[in-house]
């Protein structure tokens, strides 16, 4: 038990600059309390005392604002920052050193039976308000951006943003846990900027063609028109 305590306390100290001492973590952090109480509830659940396990889980939700089903399996070093509104479903599985921010849901889609909730690998970070829904795996060292809605499997070492969630960076490997929630790619903005640049070039070429009837410029304008149509047909 004390081995888990030490690892859970260190997870908070490592990932929250506001945490100053182990005693402060024990007394003031709902994440630490929720994880500690979940370990009790999970032991009761696996020893066929399911009603008592649910009672412990529901009391934990009232005390901390964090709802972890007693059937969920969590590894060591889980850190739930602030924690209000976090929901972890019954068949969810979390690896070691996972970080969840407030408002995260690890839930099901309502259509599955048996394994209904996601599996998170080691060193996964899930941003504020993100929803990971369904019985798939989020690979090791992956990051889910704030507000993303993830409905399908995520490979290791990936960054996912958007609704629905899409992989925007892959194999950007880091040794440490990457808690940066700001500097994430924005594929929609990038596509719009690319389209704007192409339209500007098209307008220049059309004006050039009108003035000089330059064959090369005309050919370039036609090529840009085709590219513009392809871009418009892409799924943003």
pLDDT of residue 175 exceeding 50: no
Cα separation, 26 vs 11, in Å, equals 12
- Judgement on whether residues 113 and 217 belong to the same structural domain of the protein: no
Residue 145 DSSP SS3: coil
Q: Choose among 150, 81, 87, 92: nearest CA to 121.
A: 92
- Look at the pTM and tell me if it is higher than 0.95: no
Residue 178 lies in a domain: no
Instruction: Domain count for the chain, please give it.
Output: 2
Asked whether residue 130 falls in the same domain as residue 204, the answer is no
* 136 and 56 inside one domain: yes
148 & 193 share domain? no
pLDDT band at 187 (very low <50, low <70, confident <90, very high): low
Q: For residue 180, is it within any domain?
A: no
| 162 & 202 share domain | no
Residue 84 lies in a domain: yes
User: Is the domain of 151 the same as that of 104?
Assistant: yes
The rounded percent of the chain whose pLDDT value lies above 70 is: 76
Assigned domain for 120 exists: yes
Whether residue 199 is contained in a domain is answered as yes
Averaged confidence pLDDT in the chain: 82
pLDDT of residue 184: 59
73 in a structural domain = yes
Q: What is the pLDDT of residue 220?
A: 65
Q: What is the pLDDT of residues 52-78, one digit of tens each?
A: 999 999 999 999 999 999 999 999 989
Q: Give me the helix-helix angle, 30-46 and 50-64, nearest 10°.
A: 170
| pLDDT at position 10 | 87
Per-state percent for the chain, helix, strand, coil, to nearest 5: 40, 15, 40
231 confidence band (pLDDT: 50, 70, 90): low
Is residue 133 situated within a structural domain? Answer: yes
Residues 200 and 88 in one domain: no
Q: Domain of residue 119: give its range.
A: 2-170
| Spatial separation of the C-alpha atoms in residues 24 and 34, rounded to whole Å | 15
Tokens representing residue 175 in the block? 């040794």
User: Does residue 20 register a pLDDT over 80?
Assistant: yes
């Amino acid at each position: 038990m004390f081995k888990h305590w030490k690892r859970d306390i260190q997870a908070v100290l490592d990932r929250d600059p506001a945490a100053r001492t182990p005693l402060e973590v024990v007394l003031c952090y709902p994440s630490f309390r929720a994880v500690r109480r979940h370990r009790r509830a999970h032991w009761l659940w696996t020893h066929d005392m399911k009603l008592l396990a649910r009672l412990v889980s529901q009391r934990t939700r009232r005390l901390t604002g964090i709802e972890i089903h007693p059937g969920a399996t969590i590894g060591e070093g889980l850190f739930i920052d602030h924690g209000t509104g976090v929901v972890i479903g019954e068949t969810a599985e979390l690896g070691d050193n996972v970080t969840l921010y407030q408002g995260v849901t690890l839930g099901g889609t309502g259509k599955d039976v048996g394994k209904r909730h996601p599996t998170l690998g080691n060193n996964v970070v899930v941003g504020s308000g993100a929803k990971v829904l369904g019985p798939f795996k989020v690979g090791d060292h992956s990051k889910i951006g704030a507000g993303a809605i993830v409905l399908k499997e995520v490979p290791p070492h990936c960054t996912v943003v958007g609704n629905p969630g899409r992989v925007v960076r892959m194999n950007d490997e880091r040794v440490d846990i990457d808690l940066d929630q700001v500097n994430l790619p924005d594929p929609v903005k990038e596509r719009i900027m690319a389209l704007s640049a192409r339209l500007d070039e098209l307008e220049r070429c059309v004006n050039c063609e009108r003035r000089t009837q330059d064959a090369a410029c005309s050919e370039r304008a036609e090529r840009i028109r085709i590219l513009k149509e392809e871009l418009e047909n892409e799924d943003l």
